Amino acid sequence: MKKLLTLSALACATIAPAAMAADEVNVYSYRQPFLVEPMFNEFTKETGIKVNVKFAKKGLAEKLAQEGEYSPADVVLTVDISRLSDLTEKGLVQPVNSDILEKNIPAQYQDTDNEWFALTTRTRSVYSSRERVGKLGQDFTYADLVKPEFKGKICTRSGKHPYNVSLVSAMIAENGEAATKEWLEGVKANLARKPQGNDRAQVKAIKEGLCDVALGNSYYLGKMVNDPEQLAWAESVYINFPNQETTGTHVNISGMAMAKYAPNQENAQKLMEFLAGDVAQNMYAEVNYEYPVKPGVKPSELVASWGEFKADPISLDKIADHHEAAIKLLDEVKFDL
Q: Would the annotation count 291 as a binding residue?
A: no
CA angle (154, 156, 159) in 5-degree steps: 125
CA distances from 116 to 2, 70, 96, 213, 219 (A): 29, 21, 8, 34, 22
d(CA 51, CA 147): 51
Question: What is the DSSP secondary structure assignment for residue 157, as one 8-state letter?
Answer: S
Q: Would the annotation count 220 as a binding residue?
A: yes
209's torsion region: left (phi>0), alpha (psi -120 to 50) or beta? left
> Do 321 and 168 touch, CB atoms closer than 8 A?
no
* Residue 17: burial class (beta carbons within 10 Å; 0-12, 13-18, 19+): exposed
d(CA 309, CA 244): 7
Q: Report how many helices (DSSP H) and strands (DSSP E) the chain contains, helices first.
A: 14, 10
Q: What residues form the annotated binding site for Fe cation?
A: 219-220
Q: What residues form the annotated binding site?
A: 219-220
